[in-house]
Amino acid sequence: MAKLVFGMNQSLDGYVDHTEFAPSPTLFRHFIKEAERQAGSLYGRRIYEIMCYWDEDHPEWDADRRAFAAAWRKQPKWVVSRSLTAVGPNAALVEGDLEGAVHKLKAERDGEIEVAGPDLARSLTDLGLIDEYRIYLHPVVLGRGTPYFAGPRPPLRLMTSDRIGEDVIRLTYAPA
């Protein structure tokens, strides 16, 4: 049975915003390894549209970016959306009964399925379907933006903490 993991970069004051801060080369290589071993990714519409950037090669990419793109393209993706009518390569739309679709997905797969997007994570948290939360805490204060937890913080218990690179702490929580 697969495990749903919601993990994102977060500022010290609790916000996620890929335009305001980026992973260091060390953290980016960590994300490449994560993408290579994941059983797939479950996206909300907005984050999926951002991630579609990786569908096409860009001449300015270095080896790490090409490696991430290859891992991202290879893994299956499921996109939860009421407005999209089609998705890109190796992706499928999740429509209708979210809870039933995710239960089926978890039962049919082994390994970790990444959950991407705070709004989708909130819906899955409300349904009790997220198995693990990973906060990649950066030494940045944004003062505004999209919070990591789109709703009330669920009861959590700290499982592990570790340092990745010079300035990022990964906090891993499970539902309490």
Query: What pLDDT digit, counting tens, does each position of 101-144 carry?
Result: 999 999 999 999 999 999 999 999 999 999 999 999 999 999 99
CA 121, 126, 127, 132 dihedral sign is positive
- pLDDT computed for residue 105 by the predictor: 96
| Spatial distance between the Cα atoms of 129 and 99, rounded to a whole number of angstroms | 8
* Pairwise CA distance, residues 57 & 73, whole Å: 11
Distance between CA atoms of residues 108 and 2, nearest Å: 8
SS3 27: helix
Q: What is the SS3 assignment for 63?
A: helix
Query: Is residue 54 helix, strand or coil?
Result: helix
Whether pLDDT at 84 is above 90: yes
Question: Where does the pLDDT of residue 172 fall: very low under 50, low under 70, confident under 90, or very high at 90 and above?
Answer: very high
Distance separating alpha carbons of residues 44 and 119, to the nearest angstrom: 7
Mean pLDDT of 58-80: 97
**All domains of the chain, ordered by start, with CATH?**
2-175 (3.40.430.10)
